[in-house]
Structure 1
Amino acid sequence: MTSIPATKAAITALKIEQRVERDVKAGIPEVDRRNHTDSEESMRSYVVREIIGRVHENRQGELDKELADRSDVDIRQLYQEMKNTESLVEKSVAARLANLVSGIKQRAQEYSALRMDLEMFRERNGLTREAVYRESKLLHFSIVFFIVILETVLNAFFLSKGSALGLVGGFFQAFIISMINLGFAAFLAFSLRHCFHLNALRKIGAGVLFGAVLLASGVFVLGVGHYREALEADPFTASQVAMSTLQAQPMGIQDFNSWIMVVVSGIALVLLTAKFFVVDDRYPGYTSVTRRVKSQHAAWRDAHEDAIDSVNQMAEEMQDGISDTEKTIRAQFIQFKASIERSEEIHRHYHEDIIKAQGLLDELVRYYQSYSARMMNRRSAYFGELLRFELEKLPRLNTTGLEQHKQDLATFEQVMDELDHTYTGAIDVVNRRCETIQAALSELVDKLELDHGLRRG
């Protein structure tokens, strides 16, 4: 910011000594003068134009900046929004509530439809009990994996002795055998489950399939034993020899280790079949329809809980918004009040600058008079009053808007007195409205459950 310069700096800038020397050569000032010289008058013009003018420009810039900052304050609008919280809440809630209600109704319809499918399934198949099955599929697959790996490891030990690749070759052969056993077990469990079907034709078909698969799996297990026995004699002809001896003498295995392989594969087959059978209800299809109903029931329950959570989240968001608005109002009020005080301080400093500029002008005139007296080797003849600024001609600061903002400050102070009460009222409005919505959602859930037969009244 441009300020009032020191006297020596002003003397140098005005070149007063050169002026005096020029005036003295021209016979100025006169001995008995009573008026100021042109040089003295030019000092006043210089101070007004160059010094006070620049100070005025900078002070006015500061005032304009403060005015612009105060004009950006929107305390009235923010406060009015807080007072109109109820209407704003209604606008925000309307769309959200419609979506929640629509989602809950859709879930209720889907759940009701699946329950109806389950009841129709029970009615068609004469079922009066609940489905019995294992909830955890992960545990089921873990046990199946363990059985397959255990069978593979045990059989790999026996097959490795006759394999050209040793233990690695025996392991891969054993793994293939285990996977075939796994397929047989799945078909056995499938066919066995359909033996409990209400339809007689399906029972007969399932029984025939079960017998065929059981026979095939038994032949395969015996074939594994024959292959193990032939493998030790000649690995290259083991397959042909095993098929021949299996056809001629299915039970004619002579090697003890081969019988152990047959027993291991048979036990694995039985365990896998039992595991596949007990993982689901013994009645075919009962587990899948029951799982769908339970899954939809969980989705229905989650839909209600999610709706309540959504309302709570919405309430928190609106409360956070109200809290932010309240903080913004307080911050803007503090800035607004401080800006007015700074504007008044700038105005006061400008008047102080004028007084300092007058003092500078006095010093410049005195220096001019004293220097000219020394140059003329006589006492200064001029003892009249020093130059004074014509105050009415000095540039004035434009304080447009400051008085209006002072009036606004009084209004804002009243707003601040009422802010705590308004803030509390706005929070209460949000809480009451959200509690009302939650109660309405609970009533809707009860009504939907009764209308769709999801529970008894």
Structure 2
Amino acid sequence: MGSKFEKLNRLRESLRESNHDFRASTQLFSSLDVAKIDRDMDLAGRGKERGEANQPPKNTKNLDDVEHAIIERVEDEKKASYHTLEDSLQLLGGRLAGLDFEEQFGLIRQANAASVSDFKASVAVGLDELHGLRRALNDAEKEHSWFKEKHGLVRAARVQHGVAHVFRLSLLLFLFLIETAMNGSFLAKGNEQGFFGGILEAAAFSFINIGAALLLAVFCARLVTHRSIFGKLVGIGSIIFYVALAVTINLALAHYREVSGTLADGAGAEVIRNLRADPAGLTDVKSWLLFGIGLMFSLFAFIDGWFVFDPYPG
């Protein structure tokens, strides 16, 4: 792309270059300073003296010395201005000759032909690209019309893009980090590695808690809005399965917090036994708080995942 219209660019640069070493300017001829001539020649004083002497006489037709001096002074200024004009005309004539319009016109014609060729080549490439894009657009419109007709849809697709899409993805990451940090502070009590170990265990629980909610919302639960009965049943079953899974995961996390504080080994097996025997048998209010926080974050992730794409699957 950088070589296109190269001749036209070179012509423009050559026209912008000056063929002389002077700065372009427009200087007017200076106006004749009559007051200065009056002061230099003392015309007022000499006129008063000659007037008192009644010179020159009224009937004289020839110019006197003072008038001749004034005329000579003005003529000198006129000659100096004329010489300046002649010099300027010669200088400008040389500059005009140096412009070489014929050569510039030839360069313009060459640049014009090259630019037209480059433009036609660009148009041909653009038409090829537009043809492919138009064909893809027509196929997408046909597929879109077929999909809406098949599923009985009237509304337009609700596709998240731009800032809204970035916000939803950022919200998922924010939920994961916040839940990990909060759960880590609760699990650090019974972990041998302290807060760092609690953070690692909390990250694993958060990944499963939020990841399962997101996957079920995106790929399964949205089927509840499907037109087919089978799809609706799958969607309803997915929602029920999500609720059971979210409650189980967060109850297991709460039981693990209580058990890990008293047992160094075998905490996982003890959690499974407690879940089977008495799932709601949490004895510490912090464990219930941990359960509620995890369930709340899981629900947020499920709702956010539901609307990441269009609510209608397909």
Q: Structure 2 length as normaliser, TM-score?
A: 0.62
Q: Could you list the per-position Cα deviations for residues 57-109 of structure 1 after superposition, in whole angstroms to 9, with x for gaps in the alignment?
A: xxxxxxxxxxxxxxxxx998875453466554443333222222222222222
Task: Confirm or deny that 1:189 pairs with 2:217.
Answer: yes
Aligned residues: 212
Q: 1:96 aligns with which of 106, 122, 131?
A: 122
Corresponding residue for residue 267 of structure 1: 296
Fraction of identical pairs, as percent: 24
Corresponding residue for residue 23 of structure 1: none
**Aligned ranges 1:164-313 → 2 under 5 Å:** 164-190=192-218, 191-285=220-314
After TM superposition, where is structure 1 displaced by more than 6 Å over at least 4 residues in a row?
Answer: 74-78
Decide whether the 8 Å contact of 1:188 with 1:214 is kept in 2: no
> 2:186 corresponds to which letter in structure 1?
F
Larger radius of gyration: 1
Deviation of the 1:243 alpha carbon = 0.8
**Aligned ranges 1:323-362 → 2 under 5 Å:** none
Corresponding residue for residue 421 of structure 1: none
> 1:121 corresponds to which letter in structure 2?
F
Cα distance change, pair 235–98 in 1 and its aligned pair in 2 (3 A)? same
Separation in structure 1 between the aligned mates of residue 261 and residue 149 of structure 2, nearest angstrom: 59
Task: Confirm or deny that 1:153 pairs with 2:187.
Answer: no
Cα distance change, pair 205–77 in 1 and its aligned pair in 2 (3 A)? same
Task: Confirm or deny that 1:117 pairs with 2:143.
Answer: yes
Corresponding residue for residue 370 of structure 1: none
Deviation of the 1:221 alpha carbon = 1.3
Deviation of the 1:178 alpha carbon = 0.4
Q: Structure 1 length as normaliser, TM-score?
A: 0.43
Decide whether the 8 Å contact of 1:156 with 1:173 is kept in 2: yes
Q: 1:105 aligns with which of 131, 134, 142?
A: 131
Separation in structure 1 between the aligned mates of residue 254 and residue 111 of structure 2, nearest angstrom: 83
Cα distance change, pair 225–86 in 1 and its aligned pair in 2 (3 A)? closer
Decide whether the 8 Å contact of 2:172 with 2:301 is kept in 1: yes
Q: Could you list the per-position Cα deviations for residues 205-233 of structure 1 after superposition, in whole angstroms to 9, with x for gaps in the alignment?
A: 23223322332222121111111111122
Decide whether the 8 Å contact of 1:187 with 1:213 is kept in 2: no
Cα distance change, pair 80–134 in 1 and its aligned pair in 2 (3 A)? closer
Decide whether the 8 Å contact of 1:194 with 1:284 is kept in 2: yes
Higher fraction of helix: 1
Cα distance change, pair 267–92 in 1 and its aligned pair in 2 (3 A)? closer
Cα distance change, pair 157–76 in 1 and its aligned pair in 2 (3 A)? same
Deviation of the 1:279 alpha carbon = 2.3
Deviation of the 1:133 alpha carbon = 4.2
Deviation of the 1:249 alpha carbon = 0.9
Cα distance change, pair 158–83 in 1 and its aligned pair in 2 (3 A)? closer
Corresponding residue for residue 140 of structure 1: 168
Separation in structure 2 between the aligned mates of residue 160 and residue 84 of structure 1, nearest angstrom: 80
> 1:178 corresponds to which letter in structure 2?
S
Consecutive unaligned residues in structure 2, runs of 5 or more: 1-99
Separation in structure 2 between the aligned mates of residue 270 and residue 168 of structure 1, nearest angstrom: 26
Deviation of the 1:177 alpha carbon = 0.5
Corresponding residue for residue 20 of structure 2: none
Consecutive unaligned residues in structure 1, runs of 5 or more: 1-73, 286-457
Separation in structure 2 between the aligned mates of residue 252 and residue 112 of structure 1, nearest angstrom: 61
Cα distance change, pair 185–76 in 1 and its aligned pair in 2 (3 A)? same
> 1:119 corresponds to which letter in structure 2?
S
Corresponding residue for residue 304 of structure 1: none
